[in-house]
Amino acid sequence: MSKISTKKEKETYLKTQPPTSRMLNEFKPETLVICTPLGFTDLDNLSSKTLIDTINGILKNMVASVDSKPFEIWGIKCLPLKELKIYTSTQSEAQWLFLNKHNWKSQLNSNLKTHPSCYPALINGIPKEFKPEDSSHLLQLRTQHDSISKMA
């Protein structure tokens, strides 16, 4: 690549470059992946259209809304390990589905019942030399957990 020396050359160079991943991601739909239990086959015989209509009916009955506007999912795909990839229009809608999955999943199928999370994040690991009664160990663990939470 030749050296860019003038402002005009730099502008021309930037205009000819392909869009960045971040720019492309703005045009992609938001998705949410719902895991299913091992060996789950209850939804295998249902078409994507039927699943979409069923989930949208559940969301309508729950009065699901983001910013006081009701929403619907517009696509679904069954992944190889039987997970469901759900497509929504905005990230806020996908987040609402994730935060309320324990409410609507059980209505879709009783074998998909989940319980609300008690904790916003899980700790990835505990050191081998951890002693719960030692306050310095608890402080160290809390500090590490806080730094992980801030990165997420």
Q: What is the mean pLDDT of the chain?
A: 82
* H or E element, residue 126: none
Report the C-alpha gap between 119 and 22 in whole angstroms: 30
Let me know whether 124 and 88 are in one domain: no
C-alpha separations of 53 from 45, 57, 78, 96, 137 in Å: 15, 6, 15, 18, 51
Let me know whether 138 and 94 are in one domain: no
| Domain span including residue 67 | 29-112
Stronger pLDDT, 136 or 114, i.e. the higher one: 136
Contacts of residue 52, defined as CB under 8 A and 6 or more positions apart, other chains included, come to 73, 74, 75, 76
Let me know whether 127 and 90 are in one domain: no
Stronger pLDDT, 74 or 27, i.e. the higher one: 74
Cβ distance 100 to 50 under 8 Å?
Answer: no
Whether 19 is covered by a domain: the verdict is no
Report the C-alpha gap between 93 and 64 in whole angstroms: 9
Whether 68 is covered by a domain: the verdict is yes
Let me know whether 103 and 135 are in one domain: no
Let me know whether 125 and 149 are in one domain: yes
Whether 11 is covered by a domain: the verdict is no
Q: In the chain, what percentage of residues exceed pLDDT 70?
A: 84
Considering its fold, how many domains does the chain have in total?
2
- Per residue in 79-125, pLDDT tens? 888 889 999 998 899 999 998 988 899 899 888 887 666 665 555 56
Let me know whether 70 and 36 are in one domain: yes
Stronger pLDDT, 45 or 6, i.e. the higher one: 45
Q: In the chain, what percentage of residues exceed pLDDT 90?
A: 29
Whether 74 is covered by a domain: the verdict is yes
Using pLDDT thresholds of 50, 70 and 90, give the confidence band for residue 4: low
Let me know whether 60 and 135 are in one domain: no
Predicted local confidence at residue 86, as pLDDT? 94
The CATH number of residue 49's host domain is: 3.30.70
Whether 35 is covered by a domain: the verdict is yes
- Per residue in 24-39, pLDDT tens? 877 788 899 988 888 8
Using pLDDT thresholds of 50, 70 and 90, give the confidence band for residue 71: very high
Report the C-alpha gap between 52 and 58 in whole angstroms: 10
Let me know whether 106 and 124 are in one domain: no
Let me know whether 99 and 148 are in one domain: no
Q: Report, as an integer, the average pLDDT of 130-141.
A: 79
